[in-house]
Amino acid sequence: MFPQKRRTRVLAVVTASTLLALTAACSSGGGDQEANDDGTPSGELTVLTWRTDLVEDGTFDEYVEQFKAKYPEVTDVTVEGVTDYEGTVKTRMNTEDYGDVLAIPGSVTPDQLPDFFEPLGDQAEMEKEYRWLNDKSFEGKSYGIPVVGNVQGVVYNKRVWEEAGITEFPTTPQEFLDDLQAVKDKGIAVAPLYTNYKDAWALSQWEGWRGAVTANPDYVNEMTQTDTPWTEESDSGVIDGTIYDVVAQGLTEADPTTTDWEGSKRLLGVGDISAMVLGSWSIPQMQAAAEAAGADPADIAYMPTPSQVDGKFHTVAGGDYNLGINVHSKNKATARAWIDWFNHESGFSEAQVGLSPLIDGPVPAALEGFMAEVELITMNPAPEGKESLFADIDTASGIVTTDPKYRQQIIDDARSGARTKEQIFDDLNSRWAEGRADAGA
């Protein structure tokens, strides 16, 4: 879907807090409305969002009213909630009609950003105000700003763990296993740890532990330089080894083929399961499910990756979806005003119990205890010229770490005993080495 060759374009570059000053040359399409070229937020705006729930419950209606109150010359803001966001928006990006403001799909690689999105400013300058810009920056320019920051670890039912006598975070994978066993021994209706195997995507959430296990912000980049990233001590080995062990030791649901993502929220809320490996974005959903089920939403808490370096927990922090501006938009000034207003004034990150993308933004109450125990890590970007190397190796190896299928296979093997953990690691390392060779790493 994406063009292989970048277009040659000349665009205005501004700082994060300055509205775009546009020229007619910048407005090349994107709808039927006349171009808004004077830099004043006005006219009509179309926003694409993956948060269909917030469209349906009226939250975005409130955002639109607040935005229009600040910018009275804005006549209309249309918010399109898009189900199957990644797939649908990728298809629409084959045209110029993909809204004025949209969350940048995760499949857009850094070198493709200039083809589809307006540069928002110099990355170095914008980093004085915003965090986590690496992911959607290219050649020193930023093309997206995250709407909220997530940390990675384990969402759990604090009451259940305390009733099992556990009041401290586990500091090693073995302690994590021991704690889950203690929860099981105390008695729990479904499982100490729920994998969400059937819905699959949740297994990719374990990737969020990469970098946190060894407190290494270059871990992913270093994977491209070794034929054996799966070892007992490596981040990949600890992650996939823990998955294997929790299943092999009977600490997960009895039949993973029947897991239910939506139902799992209520199960955690009422304490029928005690933990799931998910990003902090999941906290408000679990709290809401707990409250709806008549349980106490305050039971939902968050713990760091069970690993310490020099006696400290570490957690990888990064942006969620980044808002960007359609390079074909005819109303880039208003689009930029929406992005700035959304991050500064909407209260979205606080409402989502996430970290603010603003450097001096507040920490939500539900994460205050967690944040007091951990040091944040921001993963380093790939070296210049090697932006796609990891993806190239990952694809060539056939593993595709972002695809949950290989972790489903690990769970299958752990349940059946078809392969040992060591055999799985040997297989993954062999395939990774072949991928490196094929990718010319």
- Domain definitions of the chain by residue range: 41-148+318-371, 149-315
**Rounded mean pLDDT, 80-97:** 92
Q: What is the pLDDT of residue 72?
A: 96
Mean pLDDT of 53-75: 96
225-239 in b/e burial notation, b at 16+ Cβ within 10 A?
eeebbbeeebbbbbb
Q: For 295-326, how does the pLDDT look when each residue is reduced to its tens digit (9 = 90+)?
A: 999 999 999 999 999 999 999 998 889 999 99
402-413 pLDDT, tens digit per residue, is: 888 999 999 999
pLDDT band for position 38 (cuts 50, 70, 90)? low
Q: Does residue 365 sit in helix, strand or coil? A: helix
User: What whole-number percentage of the chain has pLDDT above 90?
Assistant: 76
Q: What's the token pair of residue 412?
A: 């299958």
The model's pLDDT over 348-358, given as tens digits with 9 standing for 90+, comes to 998 888 889 99
Query: Residue 334: pLDDT band by 50, 70, 90 thresholds?
Result: very high
Q: Say if residue 37's pLDDT is above 60.
A: no
Structurally, at CATH architecture level, domain 41-148+318-371 sits in: 3-Layer(aba) Sandwich (3.40)
* 25-29, 183-187, 420-424: segment of lowest average pLDDT: 25-29
Say yes or no to pLDDT of 33 above 60. Answer: no
Using the predicted structure, report yes or no on whether residue 29 has a pLDDT greater than 70: no
Which tokens belong to 124? 């170095």
Unique residue bearing structure tokens 């006696």: 311
Kindly report whether the global pTM for this prediction surpasses the value 0.85.
no
Same fold, 41-148+318-371 and 149-315: yes
How confident is the model over 414-435, as a mean pLDDT? 98
Mean pLDDT score, 411-422:
97
Q: Is the pLDDT of residue 8 over 70?
A: no
CATH architecture assigned to 149-315:
3-Layer(aba) Sandwich (3.40)
Q: Is the pLDDT of residue 13 over 60?
A: no
Residue 318 near residue 379 (C-beta atoms within 8 A): yes
Mean pLDDT of 281-285: 90
Q: Which amino acid is at 176?
A: F
pLDDT confidence bin for 19, thresholds 50/70/90: very low
- pLDDT for position 15: 31
Which residues, 6+ apart, have CB-to-CB distance to 21 below 8 Å? Answer: 12, 14, 39
Average pLDDT over residues 217-224: 97
Average pLDDT of every residue of the chain: 89
Instruction: Choose the weakest-confidence range: 11-15, 96-100, 333-337.
Output: 11-15
Tokens for 125, please give them.
């300058």
pLDDT at 4 over 70: no
- Whole-angstrom distance, CA of residue 271 vs CA of residue 263: 12
Structure tokens, 88: 């649908």
| Contact residues for 176 (Cβ-Cβ < 8 A; gap 6+) | 170, 242, 306
Is pLDDT above 80 for 16? no
pLDDT of amino acid 79: 97
